Amino acid sequence: MVTSDDDEDTHFCLKCRTTILGLENYVVHRKSKSHNEDTLRADDFFSSLNLQSSSKPTVAPPVPTGGREGGHTIRGIVTRSKTGSSKRKLTSGGKWKAPGWAGSWEEEPPPGHTGGKWRPTETIAGSQSSSLYWCGPCHRRLSSSLLYDRHLKSELHFKRTHQERQLEGPDHRRPVRSTRLTLPRYSKLKSQEMRLKKRRERRGCRRGEVVCQVCLCKVKSHKMGKHLVSHYHCSRHPRNSEQARDTILNYMPSIVRQAPFQCHMCKFYCNTVETFIAHWASDLHRQNDLAAEGTFWCLFCKYATESSVAMGCHLVGEAHREVVIVINRSMPIVIQKRLYVHCDVCRRGFRYNAQLRRHARRWGHDQPASTASDQYQELAECSQCDFTAHSLSSFQKHVRSKHGLKGTTTGHYFCRVCDLRFDTLDESKRHRNEASHRYKTAVVNARDKKSLRRSCHHCRQVFDQLADLKTHLQLVHPDQTHR
């Protein structure tokens, strides 16, 4: 009688179907020659199951096999195809060659074929239903060489074999098939791209653009300060570079205008809220507030007040502080004071000059010295037509384009510096060569007014203007030779 310990130490061999007691005996049995020779092939195993098809079976004659000793026979099941072909080879899909087969491996796969890509060179007569063309990557069977060649050029086969061609190298590329529909369109797009590329190379920077010498980026001139303080520029320029330092110094005014907190009335710029609130309570801000009349305006909060104290309370309030936290110094918060334009007759205030001009036309109030006057706005009426220009430049363009240079329109040549107008081009050129015009131009363009001072070389007296020096020489030193 076998005990429970013997049942636990029992091993079953699947190949020879024997039961062995003990692990050591089982290992010796596996290493023995009888175990290796007595093997069951996969074909014998599936054939021994006696599987039956749903169609009418046709029993094939016994075929001798040399796999087992004793000459056992295997009976297979062969079914008829849908097209009526009854000649099929008796195999389960493995490596098998019928005895006495005199064919060539050009028609059937060779014995060493593992099921990959294989293409026969000739078709077998009488086998119309069998697919002789197989594409492994696409898992498709094709019945003729014409369909097989067409499949190799298809989009499906190209996508399935794309990864394999990448591993093989750059020489394996898909041939491009040009058609009548796509070729003209492709050539047209190509010509347009080449034309745009040449235009960009010829043009270079657009109008108003500046190239940053540090990161070689094209930026609008008015946005150069914002670019220099951006993360894009700071991450690309080398540290402790002289060129980067010089670029920052050249555009320092634009960089300062990017400060997160600004007082527009005092031209004050800072980086923290505490500094801005301290400036709001300073004497400098109080003096500038008394010098001009207007309304304080906070753009982000949409808050307006006429009192500086009320605006200071708004700056320390919770509503404004929440806006500061949300913006997080990404955009400058500017507190400005809106100035009003007053009517010279009724002293009524307006926000814009257009409102004051509309008021003057409605009530008949003349504005000779106001910013809304025709002289200040450079309004000009054409004497040959009903055109009214809102600037002298547009008036000059209108006269040249509509009436020509030989027209009878007067005053279309002008000098903004001296506030003069001329009828002909010769008069305008003669005026620009005069010393008075050159001096007024120097006064307008001068950054330092001290550089315009002149001194008398006789009495060493200093004058602020050249005209005052000439008057002094004529009155005090009339006998001296003047330079």
The more confident residue out of 211 and 407 is 211
pLDDT at 321: 94
User: Which stretch of 108-117, 173-182, 199-208, 224-233 has the lowest confidence by average pLDDT?
Assistant: 173-182
pLDDT at 73: 41
SS3 52: coil
146, with CB counted inside 10 A (0-12, 13-18, 19+), is exposed
Please write the tens of the pLDDT for every residue from 424-466.
888 888 888 888 888 888 887 776 666 678 888 888 888 877 7
pLDDT at 81: 40
Q: Six-digit token pair at 39?
A: 């093997």
Q: Six-digit token pair at 471?
A: 């008057």
Please write the tens of the pLDDT for every residue from 360-401.
889 988 888 888 888 788 788 888 888 888 887 888 888 878
- pLDDT at residue 326 tops 90: yes
Please write the tens of the pLDDT for every residue from 274-286.
999 999 999 999 9
Please write the tens of the pLDDT for every residue from 181-211.
444 555 656 676 676 666 655 555 667 788 8
pLDDT at 404: 72
The more confident residue out of 83 and 291 is 291
Share of the chain above pLDDT 70, in %: 66
Please write the tens of the pLDDT for every residue from 54-102.
544 444 445 444 444 444 443 444 444 444 444 444 445 555 555 545 5
Please write the tens of the pLDDT for every residue from 330-364.
899 999 999 888 898 898 889 888 899 899 889 98
Whether residue 278 contacts residue 248, with contact meaning beta carbons closer than 8 Å, is answered with: no
The more confident residue out of 166 and 477 is 477
Please report the DSSP string for 316-375 in residue order: TSHHHHHHHHHHTTSS-EEEEEEE-EEPTTT--EESSHHHHHHHHHHHT---SSSTTSHH
- Cα gap 213→218, rounded to integer Å: 10
SS3 121: coil
Rounded to 5°, the CA angle 450-456-461 comes to 70
Whether residue 233 contacts residue 212, with contact meaning beta carbons closer than 8 Å, is answered with: yes
